Structure 1
């Protein structure tokens, strides 16, 4: 079906609190891990949304996705450029393409009248983020950035406890993102985000989530930023004696903490979290032959000390907000793969959280109260602690039911937190404090 071209409106329904009398139609622009996950979640609510088209350059992934979602051949596209050459075919475009394509895809689709759910980061430069925001505003686009951490039950609970005065007035915050040693080696040494010139700064690619979340929790504009970080370990100077260019030929492959053969074969044989990385490495083909081929010829088989990566492997960011609240943020490769850790310091208590559990310590009573925010007993790492599903549900309900207040990662707040990230990068490169 082809929808008639019409003047774009901020919400499909046109009238607040007036539910649409049909399901929203979605085109998935990029059917990789993120696009596929969002499509699966939307498909759980067929009365509210239907996936009707896909744009994906990898033919095997495109055809498997189309078969799963019953997409007819005429709505299977080789890439997002093809969507720009024809009238709008769906209500919503879910954009999960490489970061460098966000600008052109988002502006082009907004200009055609699509409503947009855009994977983070918005774009790879501050100027491009501004251009996307401008396009959304001039088209009346319902734009939401996939800052899933804003939507989790954990964050919602924090949003109840803090205004209620559980720890008094917030004075400062300490937040750690433990990326995990093999996750970092996969994504930021061997993978798509290893080089700033090919993708974006590490802070933007991995942790714009966190800067956005901290800003959301504090609830005030960022005033000043400083930052420090560098590439310390994953470089040729740190290579152990005898290391070769590829793990599959390396005599140290069974003892190296960053061995590709260990990581991806563990994922193949034992499943679990590592299987996700193996699936990415082989483009979804979970066989011994596919893993061996990828280790022998692909980027994920390279030695972490002999790659062409240049993004930092550790970084700290200091933030001062309007009113004097301060926050410190640390991201590091050198951890187990585990949940983020946060401490919030208030005038009457301290709050400690891990993405699922929240412990409130009261200064007056010297008691500790623990809140478990998991809905099903899962860890904070699974589905971003419920954030993926909560984001999709909020966005679909906002459009389908005419409830814009459900989108809490819209244009203005997402643009503001991206500006803070770019300011932090300027501070890191210049050794200065940057004022916003």
Structure 2
């Protein structure tokens, strides 16, 4: 339609490729919700469509705009911890049973693995803070809790998230999906091409909700406590870069200012960045290659854990030649 300028693709993950490619082939600008797709092949098909399109493709990795992530990237860029060598991320998802195991997310044929739906966020942040892409990944994980819950909705009943703090402990959950074949906890080890090594854990049956990053360099380490600063919550980044014994809070603490807007203020910043990108301004967000490599790492991490933790080599992202898609990023480096 000639009156359509931009298409937002926010459909279930397995439909991303079909919808994004159709919009790009029609010459429309596309905002594509993460994960880019559920397979490496579909990511590469989307990238190819973007490379031949008159429209621009932007993949919505909003954690690039989390103030706590930006602060950690800033400290790394300032040399406060030396050269980054190791990264550890743990993601506790208290609402996992309320959300991801009551609708289409619970089935591999729709989501592949929650290392994509949830993990793509953290894998991309690890790549961002580590300044490199994963070249080898090995995974462990299993479906350990929600497969034991017998209270399931009927197949003909629509699935829907049901957030309720009373849904505890996890084995007392009700109305779970009739089919659950994705893991409810996953762990992957990542070897980045630049030598940085990283580990990532996500768990969907914890009592608390927390996303924690620890980055260790040749001259110190940083760690976040909390990931969003809102009027009702908080976030800080802690720095250890002096020789010391046990110090819970490090030798310097950076308080993240309160923000407004979804996901700790990241969502409005991301949308503004998308609008700037459409006007040929450099982007602060994830590139097409960034989004593809997050999915590739998650896909192969899931494959590894399902094949007995066999290490998997991650293929590099395709090279794009369309200047519309390769505007230089203005990341803090």
1:388 to 1:168, Cα distance in 2 relative to 1, 3 A: same
Task: Tell me, yes or no, if the aligned pair for 2:37 and 2:295 is still in contact at 8 Å.
Answer: no
When residues 415 and 127 of structure 1 are mapped into structure 2, their CA distance, relative to the original with a 3 A threshold, is same
Query: Match of 1:371?
Result: 254
1:327 is aligned to 198
Find the aligned partners of 2:134 and 2:192 in 1 and give their Cα distance: 4
Distance 1:185 1:337 in 2: 13
Instruction: Supply the distance in 2 between the matched residues of 1:204 and 1:417 (Cα, whole angstroms).
Output: 8
Q: State how far apart, in whole Å, the 2-side matches of 1:109 and 1:395 are.
A: 16
Superposed structure 1 runs of 4+ greater than 6 Å apart: none
Matches within 5 A, 1:197-346: 197-236=109-148, 263-264=163-164, 302=175, 304=176, 307-346=178-217
- For normalisation by structure 2, the TM-score amounts to 0.80
With over 3 angstroms needed to count, the CA separation of the structure-2 counterparts of 1:398 and 1:229, relative to structure 1, is same
2:303 pairs with 1:432: no
Q: Which residue of 2 aligns with 1:95?
A: 9
Partner of 2:135, secondary structure, is strand
- Per-residue CA deviations over 1:130-151 (Å, capped at 9, x if unaligned) read 1011001111432111110012
Contact 2:221/2:240 (8 A) holds in 1: yes
1:387 has 2:299 as partner: no
Contact 1:167 1:348 (C-alpha < 8 Å) held by counterparts: yes
Uncovered stretches (5+) of structure 1, i.e. residues with no partner:
1-86, 247-259, 268-299
Distance 1:421 1:389 in 2: 26
1:47-101 per-position Cα deviation (integer Å, ceiling 9, x unaligned): xxxxxxxxxxxxxxxxxxxxxxxxxxxxxxxxxxxxxxxx232221111112122
TM superposition shift of 1:369:
1.1
After superposition, the CA RMSD in angstroms is 2.4
> Residue deviations 1:104-160, cap 9 Å, x none?
111111111111110011112111111011001111432111110012222222221
1:233 CA displacement: 1.4
Q: Distance in 2 between matches of 1:144 and 1:369?
A: 36
2:40 matches 1:169: no
- Residue 143 in structure 1 maps to residue 57 in structure 2: yes
Which of 122, 131, 134 does residue 36 from structure 2 map onto? 122
| SS of 1:193 mapped into structure 2 | helix
Deviation at 1:192, TM superposition (A): 2.2
* Match in the other structure for 2:19: 105
In the alignment, structure 2 segments of 5+ residues that lack a partner are 154-160, 168-172, 228-234, 315-333
Contact 1:179 1:335 in 2 (8 A): yes
Helix, strand or coil for the counterpart of 1:323?
coil
Residues 337-367 of structure 1 deviation map (CA, whole Å, 9 limit, x = unaligned) = 4230111111111101132311111224786
Secondary structure of 1:197's match?
helix
Q: Secondary structure of 1:211's partner?
A: helix
1:245–1:124 distance in 2 versus 1, CA, 3 Å = closer
TM-fit CA distance, 1:266? 6.8
Match of 2:97 in 1: 185
Give the Cα–Cα distance (whole angstroms) in 1 for the partners of residues 111 and 185 of structure 2: 18
Q: Greater RCO between the two (CA within 8 Å, min separation 6)? A: 2
How many residue pairs match? The answer is 289
2:291 corresponds to which of 390, 395, 414: 414
Distance in 2, matches of 1:127 and 1:301, equals 36
Are 1:131 and 2:9 counterparts?
no
Larger helix percent:
1
Q: Residue 136 of structure 2 contacts residue 190 of structure 2 at CA under 8 Å; is this kept in 1?
A: yes
Tell me: CA distance 1:142–1:234, structure 2 relative to 1, closer, same or farther (3 Å).
same
- Structure-2 residue corresponding to 1:351: 222
Flag the 1:332–1:264 CA change in 2: closer, same or farther, 3 A. Answer: closer
